[in-house]
Structure 1
Amino acid sequence: RELAAVAEGGGERLRELIRRPVQTNEVGRAAALLGGFLLIAARTGLPLRLLELGSSGGLNLRFDRYRYEGSAGSWGDADSPVRVTDTFEGQRPPLDASVAIAERAGCDPRPVDPATEEGRLTLLSYVWPDQPERLRQLEGALEIARRVPVEIEQAPAADWLERRLSEPRPGTTTVGFHSIVMQYLEDEERERVSRTLAAAGSRASAAEPLAHLAMEPGGEHADVRLTAWPEGPECLIATSGYHGRPVRWCRQPDA
């Protein structure tokens, strides 16, 4: 009866919401990406320029404002409203590295603005109600989003990335990254993203490095892979759960 009343009073609004694709912005995935960001920062010694594909609300562009804790060590703001606990299993990433962020930007076909009430409710609605820890993390990330503005542009991934990578940023390391995104792109666009990164990588230098950090499906777990230019080929740096934890770090030669 209550659902019928809602449908009668706001049927068009309900139809609009049903047509909207799910835009989960999983904060826990920042834990899986963290080691990659730390490794890049430690290797290059430069501030990071973050470019995220499939950003949704861009919450993982604020990864450095969260707290990550585990038996192997901790990283991040101890007073952060976002606390990701029991983060790492086994080896640990280079948690002694520091990160400076020079720029944060993202794109999405249908971005969600987490600083608005509608955006906040939209993102909260995509979390299962029997998972209070994920809800707490998301609520904390939404609080941080109000303090740390980030522009998420409505644009196709390949077009946006090509345009952004054509803009020189000497003295910074550009990091193109994404988490559980590639499966939602058409084959042609995925190939364009790869070609765009490779072309930009061929222009990279020690003064203006480029990195590609990807958390994507690897079977029962997600694989976190890093490609860095000009220094080296793609490598598997970690595996993780699809919501982030637990993160199993793969030992790196200089980490």
Structure 2
Amino acid sequence: MLAELFAADAGAPRDRSPLTRRLIEDAAEDLRRGGVTTKIMAGSQRDRDGTMPGLRFAGAVHRLVLEGRAPGLAKHYPSVGGQPDLETLWEDALPVLNEHADLLRQRISATTVQTNEPARSAPLYGGLMVAAQEAAKAAGRTVPFCVRLLEVGASGGLNLRPHHVGYRLDDGTVLGDPGSVLVFDPQWTGRPPADLSHRLRVVGRAGCDLTPVDVSTEDGRLHLTSFVWADQVDRLNRLRDALDLAATDPVKVDCSAGPEWLAKQLARSERDVLTVVWHSVVWQYVSPADRAMGRAVLADAAAKATPTTPLALLVFESRRSDDAEEGYRFELLLKLWPAGLSFNLGYGSGHGAPFTWNVTPWE
């Protein structure tokens, strides 16, 4: 079963990260043979679909490389200046796996996949612009609402500062903050259905996670970096810029389960502020019980929303689609209360870029 989960996880990077895919595929075959990967994954035999054991394995190995503990393997890792040779990758990985089997097992069993990809701020930014303006229209206002942002499954909180990021469009326009240390091309097709000349005003931010990452520490930075596929240098550079931004604009992420934390946050509302509940690429890791509780908490808050204290749900999650190659795609979904509006704003890569704006009803 575990080897099959590894094989399924190898499909996530597909052609986007040949290094990660090959490492996971070779590890799956090693599991079938009862090799060293069996020792490393001891205790994870009952992992369920969605826990991504293959990606956790790849992340733990990447961290050893980042820490300088695997010099013989580092030559394959562009994240430290190497160049992959897929034919000899597993041969060079085996000594590292044998030497650090206990450490790898400890790290893999103690963590979940946490990419906390900062490029997801781009669809979030556009979605917040739409939400603030649509809520204002529904309330008969001419000025968009200020936003209070609540993120469930926030990891290191890197996506809790979308207004402090610069988004460079293909016409040279930079939305958000052009002077930010984090400016990148969101690779948009189309544009958000909003007046982008308005400034996004964020007046409150908070986040929670079952295993929050403290990005002010070297351990936290290494943890998040290890889950970026090592041959995606652009993503690595973007993450490092996002970590630099976080150092200048700290936001605490509470250690808490989503439903309980959200209930406390939504127990109060602020007049003339749009409260936005947000999560991205988290839903697959949430238990059915917590999903049900979260929906109930949100439904209770939605019933109490007023035109002057509106509420929004903005999520970027995978959904099944007949058009997608693998049977699913990542979609940006928005609901507004009490306006009663529901939009599917578009779809894109699970990492947030590229993204296509294509507004349809959220059904």
Q: Normalising by structure 2, what TM-score?
A: 0.64
Matches of 1:247 and 1:137 in 2, distance apart?
17
Inter-CA distance 49–246: structure 2 relative to 1 (3 Å threshold): same
2:160 — aligned with what? 61
Aligned sequence identity (%):
36
Inter-CA distance 5–235: structure 2 relative to 1 (3 Å threshold): closer
Query: In terms of mean alpha carbon deviation, does 84-93 or 178-187 score higher?
Result: 84-93
1:233 — aligned with what? 341
Matches of 2:296 and 2:211 in 1, distance apart?
24
Offset, 1:251? 4.4
Q: Which has the higher helix share?
A: 2
Residue aligned with 1:28, SS: helix
Inter-CA distance 117–93: structure 2 relative to 1 (3 Å threshold): farther
Matches of 1:211 and 1:184 in 2, distance apart?
22
Matched, 1:80 2:177: no
Q: Are the counterparts in 2 of residues 68 and 85 from structure 1 also a CA contact under 8 Å?
A: yes
Offset, 1:92? 4.0
Q: 1:150 aligns with which of 251, 270, 276?
A: 251
Could you list the structure 1 runs, at least 4 aligned residues long, displaced by more than 4 angstroms after superposition.
none
Residue aligned with 1:170, SS: coil
| RMSD of Structure 2 on Structure 1 (CA) | 2.2
Inter-CA distance 251–97: structure 2 relative to 1 (3 Å threshold): farther
Inter-CA distance 169–134: structure 2 relative to 1 (3 Å threshold): same
Q: Normalising by structure 1, what TM-score?
A: 0.90
Could you tell me which amino acid in structure 1 is paired with residue 356 of structure 2?
R
- Whose RCO is larger (CA < 8 A, sep 6+)? 1
Q: Which has the higher strand share?
A: 1
2:62 — aligned with what? none
1:118 — aligned with what? 219
Offset, 1:129? 1.1
Matches of 2:176 and 2:206 in 1, distance apart?
21
Matched, 1:244 2:352: yes
Matched, 1:130 2:231: yes
Matches of 2:162 and 2:175 in 1, distance apart?
11
Matches of 2:243 and 2:186 in 1, distance apart?
22
Equivalent positions of 1:1-255 (< 5 A) are 3=96, 7=100, 11=102, 13-19=103-109, 20-43=111-134, 44=136, 45-71=144-170, 73-94=173-194, 95-219=196-320, 220=324, 221-251=329-359
Matches of 1:236 and 1:22 in 2, distance apart?
26
Matches of 2:162 and 2:118 in 1, distance apart?
8
Residue aligned with 2:279, SS: strand
Q: Are the counterparts in 1 of residues 176 and 200 from structure 2 also a CA contact under 8 Å?
A: no
Q: Are the counterparts in 2 of residues 237 and 250 from structure 1 also a CA contact under 8 Å?
A: yes
Offset, 1:187? 1.2
- Cα deviations across residues 168-197 of structure 1 (Å, max 9, x unaligned)? 322311100000111111112112211211
Residue aligned with 1:61, SS: coil
2:18 — aligned with what? none
Query: In terms of mean alpha carbon deviation, does 26-35 or 223-232 score higher?
Result: 26-35
- Cα deviations across residues 82-107 of structure 1 (Å, max 9, x unaligned)? 22215210344432231111111111
Q: Are the counterparts in 1 of residues 176 and 199 from structure 2 also a CA contact under 8 Å?
A: no
Q: Are the counterparts in 2 of residues 41 and 98 from structure 1 also a CA contact under 8 Å?
A: no
**Gap regions ≥5 residues in structure 1:** none
Offset, 1:16? 2.9
Offset, 1:154? 0.8
